[in-house]
Amino acid sequence: MSRHDLRAEALSLGYGERTVVDALDVAIPDGLITAVVGANASGKSTLLRGLARLLRPESGQVLLDGAPLERWRNVEVAKVIGLLPQTPVAPDGITVADLVGRGRYPHQGWFRRWTSTDDEAVAAALHATGSADLADRAVGSLSGGQRQRVWVAMVLAQETELLLLDEPTTYLDLSHQVELLDLLADLNETRDTTIVIVLHDLNLAFRYAHHLVAMKAGRIVAEGAPADLVDAALVADVFGLESTVVTCPVSGAPMVVPIAGQRRRRGQDLIATPRRQ
């Protein structure tokens, strides 16, 4: 199977009068995890919505395999690009198996009923996300971490080569954030899934992404492998945050340590004296 290619060319997106993403070019690297980071209102979620065709471009275009997304049939796009939005809705009382099964929609026709291929896709998705034993539970009764895994399972059942996730870790505690990102890294490795993820937590983004897209005011400020890209100057530019960038002792990825305003004002040199004795 040939691999798909997703890119944006001179893409501008906005809501009504307000332009949020401004004439932006980006190519999603195939088979890698791309993290989109940026301050609030930098346009990172909007960019993801544009790539997922939730927003019609004001100008420019999103190209899938060289053809503008609008020219694709919706269902054909849905077979290539899976999307997990920020706030999906679980209908009251729905079971995990039923919810995950709904990811099969683009693979079923008007009259084509459920087949064993669908069963296998659902089971594989449940399995990959470690939620097989939750299959008969009601989604509403799950913990936040379990629920997010189930939503990922639903998008996996869609069996797409590309996966777009909009801040999937937002309401999770740290251990579940790590668990979810491990799951995505695993999918990237075992299924060769291309992943684009909008993340708030910089250190997690640096650690899990192969490719980093840093946005500010609707434009891409820097793009590349986190290790080549990230330094205190970039963090200051993108987030307006004074920090020092060290190397993560576990992963070797860059790690941002913010310099707290209060201590800075006291004139303490944090680098020289990391802790007070």
Q: d(Cα 255, Cα 244) in Å, to the nearest integer?
A: 8
Q: Which two tokens stand for residue 57?
A: 């471009």
Q: Across-strand partners of 127?
A: none
Among 9, 19, 145, 245, binds another protein (CB under 8 A): 145
Secondary structure (3-state) at 140: helix
Work out whether 74 is an interface residue with another protein (CB under 8 A).
yes
Torsion angle, alpha carbons of 4, 105, 48, 27, to 10: 0
Q: d(Cα 145, Cα 53) in Å, to the nearest integer?
A: 27
Work out whether 135 is an interface residue with another protein (CB under 8 A).
yes
Gyration radius (Cα) of the chain, Å: 20
Work out whether 97 is an interface residue with another protein (CB under 8 A).
yes
Q: d(Cα 148, Cα 168) in Å, to the nearest integer?
A: 7
CB of 127 closer than 8 Å to CB of 97: no
Work out whether 15 is an interface residue with another protein (CB under 8 A).
yes
Among 1, 2, 16, 18, binds another protein (CB under 8 A): 16
Among 44, 53, 207, 211, binds another protein (CB under 8 A): 53
Secondary structure (3-state) at 33: strand
Among 13, 26, 38, 49, binds another protein (CB under 8 A): 49
Work out whether 277 is an interface residue with another protein (CB under 8 A).
no
Which residues between 163 and 182 bind another protein (CB under 8 A)? 164, 175-176, 178-179, 182
**Choices 112-120, 215-223, 230-238, 267-275 (CB under 8 A): range interacting with another protein:** 112-120
Among 56, 127, 263, 264, binds another protein (CB under 8 A): 127
The residue count for binding another protein (CB under 8 A) is: 67
Work out whether 195 is an interface residue with another protein (CB under 8 A).
no
Q: How far is the CB of 248 from another protein (least distance, A)?
A: 17
Among 30, 119, 228, 242, binds another protein (CB under 8 A): 119
CB of 31 closer than 8 Å to CB of 3: yes
Residues for the chain: how many in total? 277
Work out whether 120 is an interface residue with another protein (CB under 8 A).
yes
Q: d(Cα 7, Cα 64) in Å, to the nearest integer?
A: 7
DSSP 247: E
Nearer to another protein, 68 or 91 (CB): 91
Helix (H) or strand (E) holding 125: helix 116-128
Give the other-Cβ count within 10 Å of 105's Cβ. Answer: 11
Work out whether 147 is an interface residue with another protein (CB under 8 A).
no
Interface residues toward another protein, by CB under 8 A: 15-16, 49, 52-54, 73-79, 81-95, 97-99, 101-103, 105-106, 108, 110, 114, 116, 119-120, 122-124, 126-127, 130-133, 135-136, 138, 140, 143, 145, 155, 158, 164, 175-176, 178-179, 182-183, 186
